[in-house]
Amino acid sequence: MIDRIKEILKFKEMIKSFTVRELKTRYKGSFLGFLWTFLNPLLQLLVYSLIFPFILRINEKNYTMFLFVALVPWGFFTNSVQGAANLIIGNSNLVTKVYFPREVLPIVHTMSGLFNTIFTYMIVFPMLLLFKIPLTIHLIWLPIILFGQTILNLGFSLMISSFNVFFRDLEYLISVGLMALYFMTPIMYNPDILPKTVQKILIIFNPMTGYVILYRDVMYYGVEPRYRLLLYSLGLSVFILFLGCFVFQNLQKKFAEIL
């Protein structure tokens, strides 16, 4: 594992250049280009402000921001998972003809999603203040929470990108799975409305449940994160990352043969 990490680090310039290229091409051809990075969350916020409070009628103060601070990390997660399916297949010419650690592709994909999420927070913070939600000292935990989720996303990206080479229907199953997972993640509702047993099950088996709660703690409620939940979420992320690395390293040996 250590030798593999050293090998990947030798290609750090490749990771950097590919990440920059992916960020630049995300909105290539559109009239507003990179401005969509900021316009997308603003337009989403407008929709949430006008529609959701009236449709769902949830008794939550500042429900728009309650929803928004959870949807940003959820978007990071879904984009990482859905985009991972075609990482190897979509770059088959590169994979079969050029030598580089194949892990570079999921890393680049995850890093570009991370930077796009960071840019989105440039909209989230002013909106929190606009909705009279104070930014507290507990925001110092945000980088740690975001780092943990990035590790989680990378682990899933490694697994999904390698599995999809052998089972091409996986990307369609992922769409259905994410739809189900969305409702099992406390994004539109407060998890406290659920029985304690159900809350524990969701936290244990749905890694995004813990992260949504942690993001809300430090951003929406302005309190310190639940430390046991933070440690569990970080530990689960590390486990999924190691599992993803294990799966990827064992399957990548046959990439060229299958592609």
How far, in Å, CA of 131 to CA of 114, rounded?
25
Q: Are 162 and 248 in contact (CB under 8 A)?
A: yes
How far, in Å, CA of 186 to CA of 117, rounded?
19
Confidence at 19, pLDDT banded by 50, 70, 90: confident
Count of Cβ atoms closer than 10 Å to residue 88 Cβ:
25
- Measured at the CA of 39, the angle between CA 191 and CA 133, to 5 degrees, comes to 45
Tokens of 109: 């994909």
Confidence at 64, pLDDT banded by 50, 70, 90: confident
% residues pLDDT > 70 (the chain):
86
Confidence at 54, pLDDT banded by 50, 70, 90: low
Report the SS3 class of residue 101: coil
Average pLDDT over residues 84-107: 85
pLDDT computed for residue 41 by the predictor: 65
Count of Cβ atoms closer than 10 Å to residue 130 Cβ:
10
Sign of CA dihedral 200, 114, 60, 45: negative
Q: pLDDT tens digits, residue range 173-182?
A: 998 899 899 9
How far, in Å, CA of 71 to CA of 87, rounded?
24
Q: Are 191 and 209 in contact (CB under 8 A)?
A: yes
Q: pLDDT tens digits, residue range 199-251?
A: 999 999 999 999 999 999 999 999 999 999 999 999 999 999 999 999 999 88
Count of Cβ atoms closer than 10 Å to residue 153 Cβ:
31
Tokens of 51: 């529609």
